């Protein structure tokens, strides 16, 4: 699977990943998704996506790639017919490959000043936004395909994900997705969560106070405990493991007990796709 060429020089994202970094990670994740889908078989269940088979997963991701590429080309299309096209394809994995390759080419071809819709808070410029969003969309669903092959959710150390990519994905989730919520946690639940990946020079303080939209700010991690930041709870650990857990892809019981904090996070934030 090819990636973006050296001519891609758009300004880096908020955590320093360049367009080329994101394209490389996107291409790698697409390759991992396809390989594990083929190994698992299209009828295999996907443990991290309840009620989905591998066919559902591949058709969904292939649709998303084509939908994203249409925005990058300045000619958005409807998503539903694209997914149906994948399901009806005589070679759905080949169809998936074609869509991933076309998406990477669309990122290459898009101008730095692309005028296109973005839908997350604090989003980077549209060209970088779509590369970043598809990088993490594909990475998370490639983890789903790996879980389908394994027959259980994958552990962080079983994945190919680089810590820098994981940190960027945590940032997109906490700054871009979670802050779209108009209401914070329910009364009595923790309202200030510090996410502090091991060895990183950034952490995130998520303010989930009731009665107003969720707020997230990047903070210096400090040392020990909450690092001097006033938080009700601290979620710390390996960056890749945190990435998977925050996207609700962490190893589940009985492989690894799920903490009360993680149960609360899943119930509150509801990242289930």
Structural domains of the chain, with CATH: 19-152 (1.20.120.450), 165-269 (3.30.1050)
Lowest mean pLDDT among 3-12, 110-119, 200-209, 262-271: 3-12
Q: Where would I find the H helices in 89-208?
A: 92-109, 126-150, 163-171
Tell me the per-residue pLDDT of 186-209, one tens digit each, with 9 for 90 and over: 666 667 889 999 999 999 999 988
Alpha carbons 104 and 24: distance in angstroms, whole number: 9
pLDDT for the residue numbered 134: 98
Q: What is the mean pLDDT of residues 111-134?
A: 94
pLDDT for the residue numbered 1: 52
Lowest mean pLDDT among 95-104, 114-123, 182-191, 208-217: 182-191
Tokens standing for residue 56 = 């559902």
Q: What is the mean pLDDT of residues 119-131?
A: 93
Q: What is the mean pLDDT of residues 216-245?
A: 82
pLDDT for the residue numbered 232: 84
Closest residue by Cα to residue 210 from 185, 232, 181, 231: 185
Tokens standing for residue 82 = 């694209």
The per-residue pLDDT of the chain, averaged, comes to 87
Tell me whether the omega of the peptide bond preceding residue 35 falls within 30 degrees of 0, making it cis.
no
Give the helix/strand (H/E) hosting 217.
strand 215-219
Burial of 94 (0-12, 13-18, 19+ CB in 10 A): exposed
pLDDT for the residue numbered 73: 96
pLDDT for the residue numbered 80: 87
Residue partners of 87: CB distance under 8 A and separation at least 6? 55, 59
The reported pTM is 0.89
């Amino acid at each position: 699977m090819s990636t973006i060429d050296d001519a891609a020089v758009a300004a880096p994202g908020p955590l320093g990943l360049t367009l080329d970094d994101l394209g490389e990670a996107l291409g790698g994740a697409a390759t991992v998704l396809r390989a594990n889908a083929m190994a698992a078989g299209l009828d295999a269940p996907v443990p991290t996506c309840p009620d989905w088979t591998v066919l559902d997963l591949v058709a969904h991701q292939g649709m998303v790639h084509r939908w994203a590429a249409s925005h990058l080309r300045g000619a958005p299309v409807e998503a539903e017919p694209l997914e149906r096209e994948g399901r009806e394809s005589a070679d759905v994995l080949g169809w998936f490959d074609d869509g991933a390759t076309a998406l990477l080419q669309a990122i290459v071809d898009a101008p730095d000043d692309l005028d296109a819709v973005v839908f997350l808070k604090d989003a980077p410029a549209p060209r970088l936004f779509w590369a970043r969003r598809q990088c993490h969309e594909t990475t998370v669903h490639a983890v789903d395909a790996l879980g389908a092959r394994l027959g259980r959710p994958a552990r962080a150390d079983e994945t190919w994900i680089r810590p820098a990519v994981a940190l960027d994905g945590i940032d997109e989730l906490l700054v871009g997705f979670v802050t779209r919520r108009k209401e914070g946690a329910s009364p009595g639940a923790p309202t200030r969560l510090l996410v502090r990946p091991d060895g990183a020079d950034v952490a995130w303080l998520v303010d989930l106070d009731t009665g107003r939209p969720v707020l997230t700010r990047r903070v210096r991690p400090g040392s020990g405990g909450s690092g001097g930041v006033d938080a009700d709870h601290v979620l710390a650990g390996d960056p890749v493991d945190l990435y998977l857990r925050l996207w609700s892809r962490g190893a589940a019981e009985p492989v690894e007990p799920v903490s009360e904090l993680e149960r609360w996070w899943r119930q509150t934030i509801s990242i289930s796709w």
